[in-house]
Structure 1
Amino acid sequence: MPDPTDPAAAEPPAPRGPRPPGTLRIGSIAGIDVLITSSWIIVAALISVGFAPRIEIEQPGLGVWKYVAGFVFAVVLYLSVLLHEASHAIVAQRLGYGVTSITLHFLGGMTEIDGASRRPRHEFWIAVVGPLTSIAVGAVALGASFLIPDGLVQVAIEALAAANLVIGVLNLVPGLPLDGGRVLKALVWGASGNQHRATLVAGWGGRLAALALLVWPLVQEPLIGVEPTLMDIVLVFILGLFLWTGATAAMAHARIRERLPALVARPLARRTLTVPEDLPLGEAVRRAQEAQAGSIVTIAPDGSPRGIVSEAAVTAMPEDRRPWVPVSAVTRAMEAGLSLPADVAGEELILAISRRPAEEYLLVEPDGQIYGVLSTADVDRAFRANAAG
């Protein structure tokens, strides 16, 4: 259930944005889009080819159908990956977070959740439920394999069990960007009270895991007596690179987020002049200059805001035309997401802007009074100054 003490828990879900390029929507779970990338087709083909010899041993003479059977196994395997990701998404929704999409790709899956976790226990449960789901699927498949007669189906279920158990256990490795890294982050965050320090610790865990993975082909033969193949080396390199870059990105984001609390909308707001919609633009600009206002908002007769005058549109309008053009001609009508609380700050501010991209936003007080207009150009300058400071 959503936590009633969290203000964001009552927020409506973010509007769906455009689908990322290179993805295909195949359905939805609990209102969440399920997407696949073009790389999924590649990995499904590789699984099909890799599983085909095992199928040939169990059921000779299938010919090209052994590759079809291998592809079916790839689909079933990724359905279990989808269960892993869906568990993340559903728990996040239950805790009051918006979930944009679930994407299946070359290395597994990804669940896009709006914003960072607000509490350590949220981070913990959203993260740990995925590996636990994979382990549960693996355990059920392993148990079922003892009840099914020898043959192709049993081989497929045994492989499904092994894959899910490996996925579940490996995802519990305590290093970002793995789920285990998020579990470690939650534990350190809960113990220290510092989310950013916890992310750095979990990020270093991910880097160490990446280095250990890259070293594995060098020690594999002495330790277990099996010489690594070229495919083993390539796979280890890809996974190690994935872990290292993911951990490094998480650490960089943590350093930026540490400075986000200093990003506050109120002091960045421009003084605002309110004018009726039918006022000539030239007169509106003259009044704004006289009042030393950096923005103009049009209002209805009852005083409610109707739109924000676009600075870019005013600049583009020739001065000799301004006396003959109503200010409404260069005004962007107020729409959902263009009005923000005057006290919005930090990550909440960045998230609000990313949900509804625009050049200007209207800042309003809790009683509905207009405080000012926030320009994304001003936010961007302040963000870069904070990140570099």
Structure 2
Amino acid sequence: MTESQQRSRPPGTLKIGEIGGVDVLVRSSWLVVAALIAFMLAPAIEAVEPGIGNGKYVAGVAFAVLLYLSVLLHEMSHALMAKRFGLPVRSITLHFLGGVTEIEGEPDTPAREFVVSVVGPITSIGVGVVFLLLHPVVPDGLLRLAVDALAGANLVVGVLNLVPGLPLDGGRVLRAAVWGITGNPHRGTIVAGWCGRVAAVLVFLFPLVQQPVTGRPAIPTDYILAFVIAFFLWSGATQAILSAQVRRRLPALRARQLARRALAVPHDLPLSEAVRQAQEAQAGSLVVLDVDGHVSGIVNEAAVLATPEDRRPWVAVSTVARTVEPGLQLDADIAGEPLIRAMQRTPASEYLLRERDGAIFGVLVTDDVDRAFAATT
């Protein structure tokens, strides 16, 4: 079983395939989109194909599939560029308002952030131009209608995604620009997030001025759509701002400074004696050595406290230790976001810290990290 198969899918999503090791998921809300697109295109389809009957709805759903395949191209361009820069890509999810590419971590330079962000809109605009070029060579009728609609839709998606506000791609482009100018990625996120909030307000108010702009008065569905899009933009922008405010406090978290001194004890030593030796040595944690003298486990503090004192002389210290998996061994100099990501990848209550030469530096306790983070607020 591959790693992507082992990952659990978010509720309400269906995996439809895998491209380059990246799961492609579809949210159940897409069915609503397909039905809505089929309903809205039905009159135009019937106009170019008189007598098509209920086939107009089938054709509308087929168009919705083609449209979301072009959205998939947009998201795949993000994914491929991210992977080119060494960033793991977990999944691509197609949803009601388009798609999202889940990338683990972020580009390490403003230039890479710019490229990963801008490649999606460029792809959509490129697809739209290709369909525009096909217009003169396709016959009149349903095929030309599909080509024209796909051209317009992709051009709109590409241009709108360049609006400089998070969570749109243009917001990440703006973030990269501010990051490059100020040298502060968190400031870039906050600026782009506030621009995203402004964009959300403008979208929400657009139906009020729609008639002078488009020549068509707003109808109830215009207000509903504007509200949905504005809510999506405002929520994404707000989440980005809050995330930046949290993440700019992360550099203060340094594993070396938060580590507890560790005492190494034999695996068969009675727990009571191990605790006594740790107290005598003023060590805050215990690590267990196997018969060859190698570290085999980290003693779990909660398990020690849960063991009654009258039983501790009869319990081997190894019975309250967690095996040291690769994810539980961290570089003693790890700090900030890399530290948090490492802890998120392998959740645990204790981690073994090692020096570059492999020597044991100490044990990092998750509760200590949480308290240190809370103290930075």
The code of the aligned residue for 1:293 comes to: A
1:196 and 2:186 correspond: yes
1:1-389 aligned within 5 A: 17-386=7-376, 388=377
**Retained in 1: the 8 A contact 2:87–2:106?**
no
Shift in Å, 1:303: 3.2
TM-score (normalizing by structure 1): 0.92
Q: Report the RMSD for the aligned CA atoms in angstroms.
A: 1.7
**Retained in 1: the 8 A contact 2:85–2:107?**
no
Runs of 4+ in 1 over 3 A off after TM superposition: 13-17, 60-64
- Separation in 2, partners of 1:268, 1:223: 59
- Separation in 1, partners of 2:211, 2:68: 31
Shift in CA distance, 14/251, structure 1 to aligned 2, threshold 3 Å: farther
**Retained in 2: the 8 A contact 1:15–1:355?**
no
**Retained in 2: the 8 A contact 1:16–1:100?**
no
Task: Report the secondary structure of 1:337's partner residue.
Answer: helix
**Retained in 2: the 8 A contact 1:199–1:254?**
yes
Deviates more, 1:299-308 or 1:101-110: 299-308
Shift in Å, 1:58: 2.2
Shift in Å, 1:97: 0.9
Shift in Å, 1:26: 1.4
Q: Deviations over 1:181-217 (max 9, x none)?
A: 1111111211221212222221222122112212211
- Separation in 2, partners of 1:201, 1:170: 18
TM-score (normalizing by structure 2): 0.95
Deviates more, 1:210-219 or 1:63-72: 63-72
* Structure 2: runs of 5+ lacking an equivalent: none
Deviates more, 1:183-192 or 1:316-325: 316-325
**Retained in 2: the 8 A contact 1:260–1:347?**
yes
Match of 1:7 in 2: none
- Separation in 2, partners of 1:35, 1:347: 27
Shift in CA distance, 271/85, structure 1 to aligned 2, threshold 3 Å: same
* Structure 1: runs of 5+ lacking an equivalent: 1-12
The code of the aligned residue for 2:299 comes to: V
- Separation in 2, partners of 1:294, 1:63: 77
**Retained in 2: the 8 A contact 1:175–1:247?**
yes
Shift in Å, 1:112: 0.9
Shift in CA distance, 198/16, structure 1 to aligned 2, threshold 3 Å: farther
